[in-house]
């Protein structure tokens, strides 16, 4: 299960991503928002982060205008490693190296074609499991 949410700046891209996930047969839960009316992105970051931390969803996708505010908000929550990606190299590397559990995107930054490829790369790339990367994640998490 994938948790997905956005603010008004990410609403259009979220619609594209949801249609893409449906086409791929991937289950998702949409935590809002539901229109392009202005909302506060930290609220939506928390909803997706909580679903991931509760274990209801394996991964999350968060979208705001730039992807910056919503990723900052998500990364304040312990256990969340949200990666703002603008290309597929970043999406692949953050899964392999950081075991990122949330992908952040900027709806005003990346077009839908690139965004969908970033989503696929993020969802399809496993964590490398390499000791040095695991050690660094544990240092981030204070373990």
Q: Which residues bind ligand RB5 (CB under 6 A)?
A: 7, 9, 41, 64-66, 68-69
Among the listed residues 57, 64, 85, 133, the single catalytic one is 64
**Omega before 93 within 30 of 0, i.e. cis:** no
Residue nearer to ligand RB5 on the CB measure, 7 or 30: 7
Tell me the residue number closest to ligand RB5, measured at CB.
69
Q: How many CB atoms lie within 10 A of CB 63?
A: 30
137 neighbors 96 (Cβ within 8 angstroms): no
Among the listed residues 8, 20, 97, 133, the single catalytic one is 97
Q: Is 133 designated active site?
A: no
Residue nearer to ligand RB5 on the CB measure, 85 or 99: 85
Strand partners, 104: 62, 84
The pair of structure tokens assigned to 139 is 């240092």
117 neighbors 24 (Cβ within 8 angstroms): no
Shortest Cβ 90–ligand RB5 spacing (Å): 18
Shortest Cβ 42–ligand RB5 spacing (Å): 10
Q: Which of 68-89 are b and which e, b meaning 16 or more Cβ less than 10 Å from the residue's Cβ?
A: ebbbbbbbebeebbbbbbeebe
Q: Is 88 designated active site?
A: no
Shortest Cβ 64–ligand RB5 spacing (Å): 3
Residue nearer to ligand RB5 on the CB measure, 69 or 94: 69
Residues annotated catalytic, as ranges = 64, 97
């Amino acid at each position: 299960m994938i948790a997905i949410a956005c603010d008004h700046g990410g609403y259009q891209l979220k619609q594209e991503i949801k249609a893409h996930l449906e086409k791929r047969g991937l289950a998702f839960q949409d935590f809002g928002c539901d229109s392009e009316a202005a909302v506060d992105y930290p609220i939506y970051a928390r909803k997706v982060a909580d679903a991931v931390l509760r274990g209801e969803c394996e991964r999350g996708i968060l979208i705001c205008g730039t992807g910056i505010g919503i990723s900052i908000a998500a990364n304040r929550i312990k256990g969340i490693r949200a990666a703002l990606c603008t290309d597929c190299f970043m999406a692949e590397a953050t899964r392999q190296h950081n075991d990122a559990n949330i992908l952040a995107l900027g709806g005003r930054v990346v077009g839908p074609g690139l965004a969908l490829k970033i989503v696929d790369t993020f969802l399809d790339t496993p964590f490398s499991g390499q000791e040095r990367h695991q050690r660094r994640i544990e240092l981030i998490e204070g373990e």
